[in-house]
Amino acid sequence: MSNLTAAEKKIPSVDRGPFICHVDDKGFTVICRTDMPAEKLLLSWRMPEETTLRQNAEISRPGGVDHVFKATGDFSGKMPVDLQIIRGCDGKVLENAASPSATAVPYLFNPGSESISVGWKSSAECAGAVEYRLAGSSRIMRKNALFTGNPATGIAHIVHLDGLLPQTAYEYRVLALNPVNGKAYGYSSWYSFTTLKRNSGGCRMVFFSDIHADMDTFKKLSAVLAPEKADFAVLAGDLCWDGVYETDGKPLFEDFLNFSNAAFASGVPTVFMRGNHEWAGKYSFEWAKWFPGCNGKTYGAFRAGECCFVVLDTGPIGNYQPGTPAGDYIAEQKEWLEKTVMPSAMFTTARYRIVLAHMPTHGIPNAPLLEKSFAELFNRGKVQLMIVGHVHRYMRINRNDNGCYGTDYYTIWDESNPPRSALDKNYTLVINGGGPDENGIFATALELCASADNITVKAVKKDGSTVDEFRVLPDGKVENISPTKRFNFRGKYKK
């Protein structure tokens, strides 16, 4: 609805544009449309590195609603920025099209030994690209963000880089591009990352979950574990305050991306996982717009040295069944795991097989279909470790065990949600404590270090103290290093 007064409505306003539609060495062309015929409109613009607006180009054919401005001059092919349309009769600025910037800090995701994904949010709609090079090299390569061959114009920009060398340092920057002619509005700073090891060697992973937009907890746990020095990081869901209720990634950036990008995710590949809270909200579907897997999904698998990591999307809380949207998504992942991942060399040749997810298959699950769908597969695939969040309490449930380190089952379950047995599970389950601190519950984050001999897992609090530390051997056997309190199960398991 127009904000103009009745008197003003007798004079035109802009309802489409202004858009830059052509640029060459002699100048550029801008188009716009008004809601009624206009006799006189003026265009002002600012060139890059200039601080003031230049005057003016007039419409070439007065009296219509579709307007063309031709600005001529020696601009050396540069793009104008900050376009303004000014009404000739009264000098009122009708439209101010600020130029997009590439100042946003990008994030790296979909970790890999020969590939990585780069995401960022621009200040206005534009096309995007990533320029990258071997660290120290002057040979710059570029990959544009495309959709079916066209520039993918918007504020969400995703570029999947592939053909990279394993365990190799790269530098990269992101570009805001004019989608019409491909010229750059601007560049970000240069950032760097190192690809993962391909088949052999260890890795260091840090794991956060259930931050719920509590930046104090996130910052303190990050200060303890230094994710910027990890091979990759994991943000395992429930990172939002409570769901995705606003569009354009607003809650994602405000709740965790602005911090994680600045602290580590611009240089450390990060696994962004959906928790049940990211499944909630009017715009929950936007998650995949900002964190699409290379397969277009929110689940995947990758190799980091001798470890194969399987990332699952465990869906919303609830007793959802096959035939429901969430149930079908679990069924799809089960089939993918069984038919694609488990027979692959990536999985079968790995010394360690580790599942990362938001919700657990057992212990205290809130989605019973997970156990039914995955537990037998994990046993058959000789998965040694499953690492999750969601419960807001640190728990370690060793394989084939009837006890729990960290938290007494009896404090967190009732008859409506009885614990699920670990006696028939051949993999150890670690539930990160997440955050924030409340009512005697404390936030934790995890560090996993893999070597040829074993995997060590350490859970820490934000004061830097260690809650639990143990190792897992290649055959799945668990050894305590600095264990937390153990609670024997005293009731009847649900099977």
- Residues lying near Fe ion in the complex (CB under 5 A): 238, 275-276, 390
How near is the Cβ of 337 to Fe ion at its closest, in Å? 21
Residue 396: partners with Cβ closer than 8 Å, 6 or more residues away: 404, 405, 406, 428, 429, 430, 431, 459, 468, 470, 484
How near is the Cβ of 483 to Fe ion at its closest, in Å? 25
Pick between residue 275 and residue 293 the one whose CB is nearest to Fe ion.
Answer: 275
How near is the Cβ of 253 to Fe ion at its closest, in Å? 20
Phi/psi of residue 212, nearest 5 degrees: 50, 45
How near is the Cβ of 275 to Fe ion at its closest, in Å? 4
How near is the Cβ of 238 to Fe ion at its closest, in Å? 4
How near is the Cβ of 388 to Fe ion at its closest, in Å? 9
Pick between residue 94 and residue 391 the one whose CB is nearest to Fe ion.
Answer: 391
Q: Is 444 helix (H, G, I), strand (E, B) or coil?
A: strand
Residue 349: partners with Cβ closer than 8 Å, 6 or more residues away: 199
- Please write down the long-range contacts of 476-485, taking CB distance under 8 Å and 24 or more positions apart: 476/382, 476/384, 476/399, 476/426, 476/427, 476/428, 478/398, 478/399, 478/428, 479/454, 481/456, 483/405, 484/394, 484/396, 484/405, 484/406, 484/459, 485/405, 485/406
H and E: helices and strands count for the chain: 8, 31
Q: Report CA-CA distances (Å) from 214 to 130, 284, 294, 435.
A: 31, 20, 29, 8
Torsion, Cα 228 230 231 232, to 10 degrees, reads: -80
H/E stretch holding 348 reads helix 345-348
Which pair of tokens denotes residue 471? 């190792």
Q: Is 339 helix (H, G, I), strand (E, B) or coil?
A: helix
H/E stretch holding 184 reads strand 184-187
Pick between residue 121 and residue 390 the one whose CB is nearest to Fe ion.
Answer: 390
Residue with nearest beta carbon to Fe ion? 390
How near is the Cβ of 448 to Fe ion at its closest, in Å? 20
Pick between residue 390 and residue 393 the one whose CB is nearest to Fe ion.
Answer: 390
Pick between residue 132 and residue 442 the one whose CB is nearest to Fe ion.
Answer: 442
How near is the Cβ of 370 to Fe ion at its closest, in Å? 12
Pick between residue 260 and residue 276 the one whose CB is nearest to Fe ion.
Answer: 276
Pick between residue 238 and residue 286 the one whose CB is nearest to Fe ion.
Answer: 238
Phi/psi of residue 57, nearest 5 degrees: -115, 135
Pick between residue 276 and residue 384 the one whose CB is nearest to Fe ion.
Answer: 276
